[in-house]
Amino acid sequence: MYSSHKHIKQLYAIANHLREDVIAMLEKAGSGHSAGSLGMADVFTALYFGVLHHNPKKPLWADRDRLILSNGHICPIQYASLARAGYFPLKELQTLRMFGSRLQGHPHRESLPGIETTSGPLGSGLSQGIGIALAGRMDKKKYRTYVLLSDGEHDEGQTWEAILLAGKLKLNSLTVIVDRNNIQIDGFTEDVMPLESLHEKYEAFGWHVIEVDGHNIEACIDATYEAKAIYEKPTVIIAHTIPGKGVSFMERSFAWHGAPPSKEQARAALRELRTLGGKIRGEGD
Strand residues in the chain grouped as ranges (E): 66-69, 145-150, 174-180, 183-184, 187-188, 208-213, 235-240
> Whole-angstrom Cα distance, residue 231 to residue 227?
9
In a domain, 1, yes or no: no
Question: Per residue in 221-264, pLDDT tens?
Answer: 999 999 999 999 999 999 999 999 999 999 999 999 999 999 99
- Predicted confidence at residue 79, as pLDDT, reads 98
In a domain, 120, yes or no: yes
- Residue 194's domain comprises 8-281
In a domain, 271, yes or no: yes
> Whole-angstrom Cα distance, residue 244 to residue 250?
5
> Whole-angstrom Cα distance, residue 35 to residue 40?
9
CA dihedral 113, 118, 123, 125 (to 10 degrees): -40
In a domain, 181, yes or no: yes
Contact call for residues 136 and 143 (beta carbons, < 8 A): yes
- Predicted confidence at residue 2, as pLDDT, reads 44
CATH of the domain at 157: 3.40.50.970
Task: Please state the φ and ψ torsions of residue 202, each to the nearest 5 degrees.
Answer: -60, -45
In a domain, 234, yes or no: yes
How many domains, the chain? Answer: 1
Contact call for residues 269 and 26 (beta carbons, < 8 A): no
**How confident is the model over 16-27, as a mean pLDDT?**
98
- Predicted confidence at residue 6, as pLDDT, reads 54
Q: What is the pTM of this model?
A: 0.95
The percent of residues in the chain predicted with pLDDT above 70, rounded, is: 97
**How confident is the model over 210-216, as a mean pLDDT?**
98
**How confident is the model over 204-213, as a mean pLDDT?**
98
Is the bond preceding residue 197 a cis peptide, omega within 30 degrees? yes
Question: Per residue in 58-100, pLDDT tens?
Answer: 999 999 999 999 999 999 999 999 999 999 999 999 999 999 9
Position 155 pLDDT exceeds 50: yes
- Predicted confidence at residue 82, as pLDDT, reads 98
Which one is predicted more confidently, 267 or 279?
267
DSSP annotation string for 33-58: --HHHHHTHHHHHHHHHHT----TTS
In a domain, 254, yes or no: yes
If you average pLDDT over every residue of the chain, what do you get? Answer: 95
> Whole-angstrom Cα distance, residue 46 to residue 128?
22
In a domain, 210, yes or no: yes
The Cβ of residue 100 has, within 10 Å, a number of other Cβ atoms equal to 5
Question: Per residue in 184-201, pLDDT tens?
Answer: 999 999 999 999 999 999
**How confident is the model over 10-19, as a mean pLDDT?**
97
Helix axes 8-29, 75-85, angle to 10 degrees: 120
> Whole-angstrom Cα distance, residue 178 to residue 74?
13
- Predicted confidence at residue 7, as pLDDT, reads 84
Question: Per residue in 24-69, pLDDT tens?
Answer: 999 999 999 999 999 999 999 999 999 999 999 999 999 999 999 9
> Whole-angstrom Cα distance, residue 87 to residue 76?
14
The Cβ of residue 2 has, within 10 Å, a number of other Cβ atoms equal to 19
- Predicted confidence at residue 283, as pLDDT, reads 67
- Predicted confidence at residue 282, as pLDDT, reads 78
In a domain, 3, yes or no: no
